[in-house]
Structure 1
Amino acid sequence: MRFLRQSVMGLFLAAMTLGLLGYAANMVRGAVLARMASEDRAPAQRERVFAVAVQTAVPGRETPVLEAFGEVRAKRTLELRAAASGRIVEMSDSFAEGGVVSEGEVLLRLDPSDAESARDAVAADLSDAEAEVRDAEAALLLAKDELAAALEQAELRTRALQRQQDLAARGVGTAAAVETAELADSAARQMVLASRQAVTQSQARIAQSATRLKRSQLILQDAERRVVDTIVTAPFAGSLSGVSLTLGRLVSDNEQLATLIDPAALEVSFRLSTAQYVRLLDDDGRLPNLPIKARLDVAGVDLVATGRVLRDSAAVGEAESGRLVFAALDGARGFKPGDFVTVSVEEPPIDRVVRLPASAFDGSGTVLAVNDDNRLEALDAQLVRRQGNDVLLRGPELAGRRIVTTRTPLLGPGIAVRPLEGEAQTPDAPDMVELTEERRAKLVAFVEANQRMPDDVKARVLLRLSEPQVPAQMIERLESRMGS
């Protein structure tokens, strides 16, 4: 019985399995036939709309700013050189590297013994020359007196001769007396000639003594100048550079002692390309006195000085290009000669241009504008200037149009868009940051250990770091120099 019951159960299960397999095969066959019998229908597709940031193009007057890199130079410098040789016997406390001196301050003295001895010897020669002049003048007076007496004596002898001649004509006088009177008159005239010669010699002596006196005076002035040359003074107020002297050192004639720099008279030299230089010229082809700004990045704090363009180089140097331009700086506090600065020059204003982000302009010279149907179309635009992340464009169809500020490869003419006018695509970074105590301490330690930062700038930076919130730009610059 058990065998019969198990056999019946097995047959039942086998029949059920075959039935289920047949039902499944029928369902699969029906599905395949239904799929094969259905018609091919394409799914409905929707047009993709892109969100774009736009800006309305408003033509107007723009003042382009040209940026270049330049070097701060001292407009007024002087090489202090020794006008005489000798040993240094006195030095000012300010005569050191970086020393600040005032106008007329005595910087150092050389041993004046030799120069003073030479001056005293020349002064003695001058006294002799003055005495010689006095003697020559007295001799001239005596010679003139002798000439007057000789002229008087000659006149008397002439009258005596005339009397003897009158007496001889009347037969009263003798021939011997006339002859004696003639000899006496001749001797008197000879005495006059000798006296005149003496006067002439006295006058020549006076001229010679005057020349000797003048020569002695010139030699004395030269000797006194040599004494003065032993003293080195500052011709103007400034700072000293290149000082390497010590007390007691021997210096030679014309040896360079130091360089005096006027920190209040600074200028900046920067090189422009020829195209940039031409843009700055006026209608007469001259370089106008355009305003400039010089900016020096000092550990998160920008030192800024204003000025005006002065001149440009007369010629292009060998193996150089472009034009070298010089500008005077006004109130360049904290700047030093040799600083590498960024120079911004305001170009002449340009009319009828549109300022747009540089990402709105492509290399083919077109921009994308949104029309009334919110579709894009390409407009031709002429690039006038590049200004950092912006461009100045000019085009006949730009005025009043909504221009796409950021172009992507997905955008092109005919694309449907959703304009986002006035919305920023990227959030701005926070201007002020609140520091942790550890981060603040690291920044303060770095600033205090920085020897290249001027004291006034260091004080301003430390004051800002002590505040609860610190500018993010300052923190970024400081940490970039720390290597963090």
Structure 2
Amino acid sequence: MLRAVLKGLVAIIILAAGIGVFKLFVATKAVTEPKPASERSWNVASVRLQATDTRPSILSFGIVQSSNMIDIRPSLSGRIDEVGKTFVEGGMIQQGDLIAKLDRFDMEKNVEDLAAKAKETDAQIAETRAELKGERNQIAALEEETELVRRDYERTLALSKRGTSSTANIERAEIELKRMRRSLLQKQQIVERLDASIDRLLAISEQRKVALDRAYRDLEDTNLTSPSTGFLTDVRAGKGLEVDPNDRLATLHPINKMEIRFELSEADLGVILGYGSRRELPIGEIIQVLWRVGGQEFKFTAILDRVEGSFDAASASVGLYANIDPASIERLPAPLRPGAFVEVLMPGPDLKNVFELPQAALGMDETIFVINDDNRVEERNVSYLFGQAGRVFVIGDLKNGDRVITSRFPELGPGALVRSPNP
């Protein structure tokens, strides 16, 4: 029994010692003082603002097309005897090159026939003029004879009054005078008819000369040549083919009549018309054009010519046309053809006292973040004017030297502490 009491006492002593040691550890443990929380500073990229006057370019895309396509049609009916070597589908034909030759036989015979008729008329005119000249000479002689007969008649009358001439002599003299006057009148009528005949023959001669000129032109038109240098499409001609003026042999796209059709968005049009000093489309100004082919870039120029008469409601845009400068495309290593896809840089609005920013600096609500003198973020409201190729132009509560944050992230907001490596 004593042994059991001793075991219980030992257990109590061990438990009490453990409790004492625990309390000693608790009383002597080190106390950690809490540190005050430090404010986080965010790294940002920034740019310094500088007001500027500029005229940015508006980028658009367009299609090359012909402003004046020419339907190649023969002016005559006939059979094609020969086709030009360059008159092929998709080929480039030079001005004056042969398109086709028509059969010339009928045209040549028509020229010969009309030339013979013209000579015949000229001969008739010469003959009539000679006859007219003879009649006028006869009239002159008759006038002299009539004057002599008149004098004889007057002498006979004078002698009759003195009683030295009979009535029969007077009557004979009077009859002779009337006969001479009648002959003179007939000759004058003949002259008038000959004058009228010459006028009629001259008119016929003019008609036949006109017909002969037309025949010569028709003969020349049997050789159908290209009216301009350009590209051919829809070629439909071959040797032996019977054609007439209603047949279209091909469509010619002149290279000096090529243009670009491109579209300007309603937003860009609003910027041009609603802001700046011009407030009008730059009609008549030079625009830059870029043509990309097989990894290469070819540049040339065009002149803005006109605007389409209506908006395209589906795309909210309006079509514009620019005439390509023929001299600028002559230097291209490859021929520019209708249907080519090109990039167009059109002069934009005249912007005065605006600020240019990276597009990433502008928020969806047209706000920007500015770093103040305490390196804290301030939010500023601006007005967006124009943007392209990752750059935007704005106006608003800004001044030269302001540092604008160009990198945005969710944690960034007004009052945030930032640091920027950009001065």
Q: Deviations over 1:383-440 (max 9, x none)?
A: 1211221211222334212111011111001111121217xxxxxxxxxxxxxxxxxx
What SS does structure 2 have at the residue aligned with 1:420? coil
What SS does structure 2 have at the residue aligned with 1:316? strand
Kindly indicate whether residue 111 of structure 2 is the aligned counterpart of residue 111 of structure 1.
Answer: no
CA–CA separation in structure 1 for the residues paired with 2:344 and 2:17: 86
- Letter paired with 1:80: I
1:408-419 maps to which residues of 2 (within 5 A)? 408-419=409-420
Kindly indicate whether residue 374 of structure 2 is the aligned counterpart of residue 379 of structure 1.
Answer: no
Tell me what 2:310 maps to: 316
Kindly indicate whether residue 322 of structure 2 is the aligned counterpart of residue 327 of structure 1.
Answer: yes
Tell me what 1:292 maps to: 287
Q: Deviations over 1:169-224 (max 9, x none)?
A: 22111111111111111111111111111111111111111111111111111222
1:194-343 maps to which residues of 2 (within 5 A)? 194-277=186-269, 279-280=271-272, 283=278, 285=280, 287-313=282-308, 315-316=309-310, 322-330=317-325, 331-332=328-329, 333=332, 334=334, 335-343=336-344
Tell me what 1:350 maps to: 351
CA–CA separation in structure 2 for the residues paired with 1:283 and 1:413: 38
Q: Deviations over 1:323-358 (max 9, x none)?
A: 332223342324321112221112243222221111
Contact kept, 8 Å, 2:311 with 2:319, in 1: the verdict is: no
Q: Deviations over 1:92-113 (max 9, x none)?
A: 2111123333332222101111
What SS does structure 1 have at the residue aligned with 2:159? helix
CA–CA separation in structure 1 for the residues paired with 2:377 and 2:311: 51
What SS does structure 1 have at the residue aligned with 2:249? strand
CA–CA separation in structure 2 for the residues paired with 1:199 and 1:23: 172
Q: TM-score, normalised by structure 2?
A: 0.85
Tell me what 1:431 maps to: none
Tell me what 1:5 maps to: none
After TM superposition, give the deviation of residue 41 of structure 1 in Å: 8.1
- Structure 1: give runs of 5+ residues left out of the alignment: 1-10, 423-484
Q: Deviations over 1:450-470 (max 9, x none)?
A: xxxxxxxxxxxxxxxxxxxxx
CA–CA separation in structure 2 for the residues paired with 1:25 and 1:101: 117
What SS does structure 1 have at the residue aligned with 2:44? strand
- Structure 2: give runs of 5+ residues left out of the alignment: none
CA–CA separation in structure 2 for the residues paired with 1:25 and 1:324: 99
1:372-411 maps to which residues of 2 (within 5 A)? 372-411=373-412
1:135-174 maps to which residues of 2 (within 5 A)? 135-174=127-166
Tell me what 2:361 maps to: 360
Q: CA RMSD in A?
A: 3.2
Contact kept, 8 Å, 1:143 with 1:202, in 2: the verdict is: no
- Letter paired with 1:142: G
Structure with higher RCO (Cα < 8 A, 6+ apart): 2
Q: TM-score, normalised by structure 1?
A: 0.75
After TM superposition, give the deviation of residue 34 of structure 1 in Å: 5.4
Q: Closer, same or farther in 2 for the Cα pair 1:104/1:57, shift >3 Å?
A: same
CA–CA separation in structure 2 for the residues paired with 1:295 and 1:263: 17
Q: Closer, same or farther in 2 for the Cα pair 1:285/1:365, shift >3 Å?
A: closer
